Amino acid sequence: MKLKTIPILALILLIAPAAHAQDADSGYTWQNKIGRGFVNIFTCPLEIIRGIDLTSKSEGPQVGWTIGLLKGVGGTVLRVGTGVIDIFTFPFNFPNPEKGPLMEPEYIWQEWDGPYHW
């Protein structure tokens, strides 16, 4: 029983100071950061569809299914990477001091028709 309580207590002690240190006027909190991380990991395959769609609209279907597919795979890797970083660094002000998104758009469904911001 004691072995289970030690890691839980250590986690609480690590999270509590970081949560308390967050500015009240900041738009992002650690809850936003960890939630964004999980959402981006689960929705990252949609980047493939987005890459094909955006490239097909601007360059044509043949380019969309080749170059757009590659752009989508790249976007998937970036989105899952930022999701993992958000999950592992949620209690800390790292790498973004404001706990803001590392990738734009913040979520895949925002700016679906907008350009990539790599």
Task: For residue 11, tell me if it sits in a domain.
Answer: no
Instruction: Please check whether residue 44 lies inside any domain of the structure.
Output: yes
Cβ(98)–Cβ(28) under 8 Å? yes
As for how many domains the chain has, the answer is 1
Whether residue 2 is contained in a domain is answered as: no
Per-residue pLDDT tens, the chain, 118 aa: give them.
556 666 665 556 556 555 445 444 557 888 999 999 999 999 999 999 999 999 999 999 999 999 999 999 999 999 999 999 999 998 888 777 788 888 888 888 888 877 766 6
Residue 48 included in any domain: yes
Q: Is the residue at 7 inside a domain?
A: no
**Domain annotation covers residue 38:** yes
Q: CA torsion, points 38, 43, 48, 51, in degrees to nearest 10?
A: -90
CA nearest 53: which of 45, 43, 41, 61? 61
Domain that holds residue 45: 28-118
- Contact by Cβ (8 Å): 116, 78: no
Contact 80, 44 (CB under 8 A): yes
Residue 118 lies in a domain: yes
Q: From CA 36, how far away is CA 86, in angstroms rounded?
A: 7
